[in-house]
């Protein structure tokens, strides 16, 4: 870049931190800010599924090897439907030929481990400045561009007059860790139920993260219930091979929504990134992976030119949104269709569910299509070429 720009990133979660690392590769100053302190940003009891497309992005920014010690890989994905009692197990053999040597379908990482690695990384960059909004305000900086990664419930969406398209599922996810016995150690589970999907993600031997989707009212009721009652309730819906020992740590709840935030035809130098830009149902674990593909696109756009001019920055958000929209719409369509077909009480869909699993178990092409959309996304090849 010819001029040293000042960029402001509002929101210092996993997306904001990765974006600051990506932009630090250019000749610019990055001011990263958040209402929460560093300790509070790190100390959240959450987990994320990591896909092969995300592995390529993290490798591109030389973060994969630093994060790898904290990842737990899974080599089998069990998909089942409690209404029809149908199931299918996808394995690494169902991945595309370019991933034939892969030992895992995906990985799981704890939020705290991920954030610690990222915060340690930004300490190595002299052009990344992490500070509170109050301290940043005192600097009276003029910013050449602002990136808002303030999350799904960002107030900025309303204040900045963007087009916010929403669909409410009237559902919430209850999440907590459980100690289990008698299961396949490196297997992740996606169980479709009438009230919503139940996901089990392996964190280490005998430890799983439960992501339990149901109506918001039911999720709150379970959150406030006794842990013994919650264990009994969970035991009745777990696969037969599981033996539940105990719930570990605290239970948390977060709302489920589908949203897409589009810019209006103005030339304000700001853009939404990650969950502030789009949200999906958590089925399939696409959330954070899609957010980081936003970051990858931003980096690629800046990397196209030897120097970026102020005039090019004016048009940046339109180029960014147009580059991301196909991937986002495909992800929205797939996740929403899965919920509409497999997570409901409609008996007329029973034959469709049954037939879908019959195809999944017998058609190799379909198994590869399902697994590779989940693990690579439609832009995987582009990430690979740029890495």
Per-residue pLDDT of the chain (387 residues; tens, 9 = 90+): 445 889 999 999 999 999 999 999 998 999 999 999 999 999 988 999 999 999 999 999 999 999 999 999 999 999 999 989 999 999 999 998 888 789 999 999 999 999 999 999 999 999 999 999 999 988 888 899 999 999 887 777 666 667 888 888 889 999 999 998 876 779 999 999 999 999 999 998 889 999 999 999 999 999 999 989 999 999 988 888 788 989 998 899 998 989 998 877 677 888 999 999 999 999 888 999 999 999 999 999 998 876 677 777 888 888 999 999 999 999 999 999 999 999 887 888 899 999 999 999 999 999 988 888 888 876 555 554 444
According to the model, what pLDDT value does residue 372 have?
Answer: 84
Residues 219-232 as b or e (16 or more Cβ within 10 Å = b): beebbeeeeeebee
Distance of alpha carbon 150 from alpha carbon 35, whole angstroms: 10
Cα gap 373→132, rounded to integer Å: 39
Domain definitions of the chain by residue range:
5-166+257-386
Helix, strand, coil percentages in the chain from 3-state DSSP, rounded to 5 = 40, 30, 30
CB of 373 within 8 A of CB of 333?
A: no
Pairing assessment for the beta strands 47-50 and 106-110 based on DSSP bridges: antiparallel
For 108, the enclosing helix (H) or strand (E) is: strand 106-110
pLDDT score recorded for residue 115: 97
Distance CA 162, CA 164 (A): 6
Position 128 scores a pLDDT of 96
Q: Which long-range contacts (CB under 8 A, 24 or more apart) does 341-350 make?
A: 342/81, 342/192, 342/197, 343/192, 343/193, 343/194, 343/195, 343/196, 343/197, 343/213, 343/283, 344/194, 345/194, 350/83, 350/84
CATH homologous superfamily of domain 5-166+257-386?
FAD/NAD(P)-binding domain (3.50.50.60)
Q: Name every residue whose Cβ is closer than 8 Å to that of residue 268 and which is 6 or more positions away in sequence.
A: 160
How does DSSP classify residue 142?
A: P
Nearest-CA neighbor of 174 among 149, 201, 211? Answer: 211
Token representation of residue 284: 């399939």
What does the angle CA 269 – CA 329 – CA 341 come to, to the nearest 5 degrees?
Answer: 145
Which pLDDT belongs to residue 1? 42
What is the rounded CA–CA span in Å between residue 24 and residue 301? 14
Q: What is the pLDDT at residue 385?
A: 45
Please check whether residue 174 is in contact with residue 219, taking contact to mean a CB–CB distance below 8 angstroms: yes
Q: pTM score, two decimals? A: 0.91
Strands 28-33, 5-10: pairing is parallel
Residues 6+ apart with CB under 8 A from 175: 45, 46, 47, 209, 210, 211, 212, 251, 252, 253, 254
Query: How many CA atoms lie within 13 Å of 280's alpha carbon, on the beta-carbon side?
Result: 24
Is there a contact between 234 and 178 (Cβ–Cβ < 8 Å)?
yes
Strand partners, 189: 78, 200
What is the spatial distance between Cα 93 and Cα 367, in angstroms, rounded to a whole number?
Answer: 10
If 0-12 CB within 10 Å is exposed, 13-18 middle and 19+ buried, where does residue 120 land?
exposed
Residue 317 structure tokens: 């958000």
């Amino acid at each position: 870049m010819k001029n040293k720009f000042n960029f402001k990133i509002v929101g210092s979660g996993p997306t904001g931190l990765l974006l600051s690392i990506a932009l630090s590769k250019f000749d610019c100053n990055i001011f990263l800010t958040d209402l929460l302190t560093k300790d509070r940003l790190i100390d959240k009891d959450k987990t994320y599924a990591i896909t092969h497309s995300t592995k390529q992005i993290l490798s591109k920014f030389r973060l994969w090897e630093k994060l790898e010690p904290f990842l737990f890989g899974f080599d089998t994905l069990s998909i089942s439907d409690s209404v029809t009692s149908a199931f299918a197990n996808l394995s690494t053999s169902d991945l595309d030929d370019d991933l034939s040597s892969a030992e895992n379908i995906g990985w799981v990482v704890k939020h705290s481990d991920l954030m610690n690695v990222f915060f340690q990384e930004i300490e190595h960059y002299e052009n990344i400045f992490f500070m509170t909004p109050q301290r940043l305000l005192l600097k009276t900086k003029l910013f050449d561009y602002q990136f808002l990664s303030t999350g799904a419930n960002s107030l900025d969406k309303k204040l900045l007059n963007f087009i916010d398209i929403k669909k409410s599922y009237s559902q919430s996810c209850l999440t907590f860790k459980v100690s289990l016995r008698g299961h396949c150690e490196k297997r992740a589970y996606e169980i479709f139920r009438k009230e919503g999907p139940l996901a089990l993600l392996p964190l280490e031997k005998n430890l799983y993260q439960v992501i339990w989707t149901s109506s918001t009212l039911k999720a709150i009721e379970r959150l406030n219930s006794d842990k013994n009652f919650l264990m009994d309730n969970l035991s009745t819906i777990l696969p037969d091979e599981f033996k539940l020992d105990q719930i570990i740590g605290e239970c948390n709840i977060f709302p489920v929504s589908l949203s897409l935030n589009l810019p209006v035809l103005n030339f304000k130098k700001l853009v939404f990134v990650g969950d502030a830009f789009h949200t999906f149902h958590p089925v399939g674990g696409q959330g954070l992976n899609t957010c980081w593909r936003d970051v990858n696109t931003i980096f690629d756009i800046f990397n196209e030119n030897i120097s970026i001019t102020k005039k090019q920055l004016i048009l940046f958000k339109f180029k960014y949104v147009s580059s991301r929209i196909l991937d986002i719409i495909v992800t929205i369509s797939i996740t929403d269709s899965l919920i509409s077909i497999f997570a409901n009480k409609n008996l007329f869909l029973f034959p469709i569910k049954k037939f879908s699993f019959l195809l999944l178990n017998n058609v190799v092409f379909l198994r590869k299509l399902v697994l590779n959309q989940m693990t690579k996304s439609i832009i995987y090849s582009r990430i690979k070429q740029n890495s």
